[in-house]
Amino acid sequence: MKITLTVHSSAYLSRQLVKSDSASLLIPDLSFEIPPGTQRGSISTIEGMLRRAAMNLEMAQPERVKLGDLDNFYRCKDVIEGIKR
């Protein structure tokens, strides 16, 4: 099953979202996906789900630099900034 929501304004970010363990969340404008199994099943708002994703990406940024994975560091940085906008 595929459900698509097009966000036209910031008001949409307060909509409730139920994400199961096996569901993915794709945000094409940010070239970002939360694949199945990476976040437990949860009930949140769209904004809450995005904030959690940004927080998880940010927490791993120092490790990416330490490993010399600068390409991935900058891709994640762009996604984090896009989520925060």
Distance CA 73, CA 75 (A): 6
| pLDDT block averages, 10 residues each, the chain of length 85 | 85 90 88 85 90 93 95 94 88
- State the burial class of residue 13 (Cβ atoms within 10 Å of its Cβ: 0-12, 13-18, 19+): middle
pTM over 0.75: yes
Amino acid occupying residue 84: K
Kind of pairing, strands 16-19 and 42-45? antiparallel
Q: Report whether 47 contacts 15 (CB < 8 A).
A: no
At 54 the pLDDT is 93
At 2 the pLDDT is 83
At 31 the pLDDT is 87
At 6 the pLDDT is 86
